[in-house]
Structure 1
């Protein structure tokens, strides 16, 4: 690379262009994703600045932070300039962001639509590589009383303890239940196992005057609602 094309170290940038100084002067919203990541890792390599390195990393995941969050330490240290400590810093920061989304969703306690269920559950199960099945317990105002994992690893062959679900519902004085599980494959089509489990829980809950309000299949970016499709 000719000398006049060598990347300038961040320390030689204009103060207004340095990520840390830019954040202090203009606020966090003024920074790009690459600049925010550059603050985390602190430095790049001899051939590129921290910002350029982070731009290169982001380009491999189409600038999608959700996809970046799926990379492991081993994936990240393949990039020259990223050691184990920097990789861990990136992973930790993205995990904090994911947990913040979960907490934000939990603060919005009232379920008003299938979209609000998706907003509650997507941060919890939408990006998992395995299948999990959850129950949302609601009171008569459709406010969330509790969310609980029912099974992990797929429904086929899984023994679902319906009695435990109903026991929890009675303990919480729940009047409504919403079922939710993820499809890591990305498909939104309900399987026979999805339908069978929904029916099984419907039959059990009816005798206790508890209503199954919906069942959502959740993927990273979308969802399928049994209630919206009138198949409950």
Structure 2
């Protein structure tokens, strides 16, 4: 009876790990990189074949895969808890790498700058997060912080906490940002109300709210650009 060869029986140049060492990371497909993370497949599939099936399930979209939790990955035969954790950790490292890159841009001059700054943090998340960017008089970034983290449909915002951090950092202005995991970029009535609430409270402390940016996958909406502030 014919038995499918395992990865160990492949030609050395075709094995993902050896291929990475001899030809570099850029020579590997996404399935091969994923195969290195999971190490082994199952009785019917090699690690590479299993990786291809996992990627095909999300239309080969790594951003979509990064939104999946461990319970989703565990549905694939051959993926146990340890392998699921490896995949999730690697995807999170990729997200943080993009986040660190965003920190290079320290001056925010328009909504596009703000969206570029926040997109690495928020565009791939399966849940909603609300962040605040603190700026000085020259619109240079002082700091950023997450105000709240919630479910798919919303978060709870503590205005007092936002002002506390802004005053501690001597911020002159704020840019608010949150994501819509649904991909719907439109501002809801709740979004408009909380923005106005934060704006009114900040003005009492002589702090300006310059914008509220909504990140929805590869799109964004700016309250400032839309005349909603």
Shorter-chain TM band: 0.7 to 0.9
Aligned-pair RMSD on alpha carbons? 2.6
Contact conserved, 2:128 with 2:154, CA < 8 A, in 1?
Answer: no
1:33-63 deviation line (CA, Å, top 9, x unaligned):
1000111112222322211110011100111
Distance in 2, matches of 1:157 and 1:151, equals: 6
Distance in 1, matches of 2:93 and 2:180, equals: 24
Aligned partner of 1:62 in structure 2 is 59
Q: 2:176 aligns with which of 160, 179, 182?
A: 179
Distance in 2, matches of 1:112 and 1:204, equals: 23
1:174-202 deviation line (CA, Å, top 9, x unaligned):
22210111223221111222222222333
1:181-224 deviation line (CA, Å, top 9, x unaligned):
12232211112222222223333334544322111111222211
Report the Cα offset of residue 156 of structure 1: 8.0
Distance in 2, matches of 1:156 and 1:37, equals: 32
TM-score by length of 2: 0.86
TM-score by length of 1: 0.85
Alignment of 1:188-227 (within 5 A): 188-227=185-224
Report the Cα offset of residue 114 of structure 1: 2.1
3-state SS of the aligned residue for 1:177?
strand
Structure 1: 5+ residue stretches without partners: none
Over 3 Å counting, the alpha-carbon distance change for 1:122 and 1:9 in structure 2 is same
Distance in 1, matches of 2:34 and 2:148, equals: 35
Report the Cα offset of residue 164 of structure 1: 4.2
Contact conserved, 2:67 with 2:126, CA < 8 A, in 1?
Answer: no
Aligned partner of 2:76 in structure 1 is 79
**Which range moves more in the overlay, 121-130 or 65-74?**
121-130
3-state SS of the aligned residue for 1:62?
coil
Report the Cα offset of residue 158 of structure 1: 4.6
Aligned partner of 2:42 in structure 1 is 45
3-state SS of the aligned residue for 1:148?
strand
Please say if 1:147 is aligned against 2:144. Answer: yes
Structure 2: 5+ residue stretches without partners: none
Aligned partner of 2:114 in structure 1 is 117
Distance in 2, matches of 1:83 and 1:164, equals: 40
Alignment of 1:89-100 (within 5 A): 89-100=86-97
Q: 2:128 aligns with which of 108, 128, 131?
A: 131
Distance in 1, matches of 2:180 and 2:187, equals: 9
Report the Cα offset of residue 9 of structure 1: 1.9
